Amino acid sequence: MSAIYLNGERVPRERAVISVYDHGFLYGDGVFEGLRFYSGRVFKLREHLERLEESARHIHLVIPGTLETLANDVEATVLASGMSDGYVRLIVTRGVGNLGLDPRSCPVPQVIIIADGISLYPVEMYEKGMEIVTASTIRNHPNALNPRIKSLNYLNNILAKLEAIQAGVPEAIMLNHMGEVAECTADNIFVVEKGRLRTPPRNAGILAGITRATVLDLARASGIETLEETLTRHDVYTSDEMFLTGTGAEIIPVTKVDGRPIGNGLPGPVTRSLRGKYHDLVRNAGNS
Ligand code: PMP
């Protein structure tokens, strides 16, 4: 089952519609979050709401109500869905306005919450690893549209995703405007090099992933050295292990990049161990 809340009220699926004059639809003017719930509990709800608020502040959008009411509405949507495990899409659009960019014509932002099932990568990809390529489309320049904003405008990522599809693989690495490794189209990137875990810093033109932060915490807690530093394609090609992180994907191993096998071409021990720890954490967070 699914459940949908529109501006604080539960609505049936067929009435869950927005105006063609909503600037979220007309211009991608809005922000969103993708959350997971496990055993009925939303994982890292507070962190997602804070990131949503940061995105909103950047685009000068005031989210109606408080973060507490929003948290309650997210939890109510999850409960109403009747599902134990699933995905939440939380969207705040600029709202209904005129045909014209000026956000001042949109007095009331719209808050949309959808709790539904999640489509995951196939199980064998988690066991054997994923092959990916580097896209020629670079991540948005931070002075144009900062990737720290999780905005409704995902065309930059979609263009890179299309390149992945053209190449017959599920994902693509996006470089930043400096030619450094940034992130994949909807996941952050990690490599393991001589037992150390490396990931691009938050100012590398990436979304500051919540799974990324969780994985860094898990690694530090288990005594793995972590480095948030610039990565180049050379670092990727010569790494011992590689994996991607995201709310939807969780932790997924990458075993081939641009035709080059990573390490021995199989998911490595650090990736496997962190995957185990991540699974334990989300399960425990669900039971607490
Ligand atoms: N980068 C991008 C561009 C994303 O859209 C996402 C979320 N799907 C991520 C990274 C991963 O972020 P999180 O771990 O918070 O889901």
Q: What is the pLDDT of residues 15-42, one digit of tens each?
A: 999 999 999 999 999 999 999 999 999 9
Query: Is 150 among the residues known to form the active site?
Result: yes
- Give pLDDT, residue 120: 83
Beta sheet of 86-93, edge-to-edge order: 9-11, 3-6, 110-116, 86-93, 30-38, 41-42
8-state DSSP, 22:
B
Kindly report the pTM of this predicted structure.
0.97
Q: What is the domain class of 123-287 according to CATH?
A: alpha beta
Name the catalytic one among 128, 150, 161, 194: 150
Residue 8 φ/ψ, nearest 5 degrees: 85, 0
- Give pLDDT, residue 32: 98
Separation of CA 189 from chain center:
12
Mean pLDDT of the chain: 97
Best substitution site from 43, 119, 207 to test ligand 1's pocket, by max atoms within 8 Å of Cβ?
A: 207
Fold of 3-116: D-amino Acid Aminotransferase; Chain A, domain 1 (3.30.470)
- Give pLDDT, residue 288: 45
Could you state, in order of their start, the residue ranges of all structural domains in the chain? 3-116, 123-287
- Give pLDDT, residue 247: 98
- Give pLDDT, residue 1: 86
The low-confidence residues of the chain, meaning pLDDT below 50, are 287-288
- Give pLDDT, residue 25: 98
